Structure 1
Amino acid sequence: MKLLELVTRSVPAGWARPAGKTGSGLPLQEHQAQVDGDGWSYLAAAAVSKGDRTGRLLAEVHTPGDPVTATGPCVLAGTFCSMRDDCQASPSSMRPRAATRSTVPAASRR
């Protein structure tokens, strides 16, 4: 739950953090942990909106030494989001203990 709290606190200024569920019953904020081989991974996601634009802010954490994180945060981002070509790693995301990826809707990058 702590990662979800960090994700929702990371929403850029001016963007809303809707809670609850979509019309089809999907949660607008969610978190999930899973055993992944010899380690674990944890994913948190929150919907964001501004005017008529919507998107999702995501963060994923893996056990240190996980083969997915050893290849870098942009490869990790490609495992749960189709924006691999837009990925830019910052020095803080290159720490060997964890890799994170957050996305802001393409409409906000205009």
Structure 2
Amino acid sequence: MFEVIFHTEADAEFVALPPVVKAKMVRLLKKLEADPRKLREPDTKPLGNNLFEVRTMGSDIARGLWVYQEGKKIYMLRIFIKKSQKTPPSELAIAWQRLEEMKNEI
């Protein structure tokens, strides 16, 4: 099993998701905990530089940006409702900034 560790703000973003989207995200997070290496598109997608996104489908599309870390840890860095085809660079920048914050806290 992997441990999913939420950045404080990502946790708040998760809590704020609409109920239907949150239920979909919970299902995907359970799959991540079981073994993220077994997840494939459309559930997850590599974004480069060891950053991945977990993807809900349907009318409201949410994304969770995450990275693997040593010791079977997954850091969930950013969760947002996606409104465009590609993941906006600003969302990637937020994820990288939060990863640095989490590294500094450890």
- Superposition TM-score tier, normalisation by shorter sequence: 0.3 to 0.5
TM-score by length of 2: 0.33
Q: Provide TM-score, normalisation by structure 1.
A: 0.32
Greater helix share, structure number: 2
Structure with max Cα Rg: 1
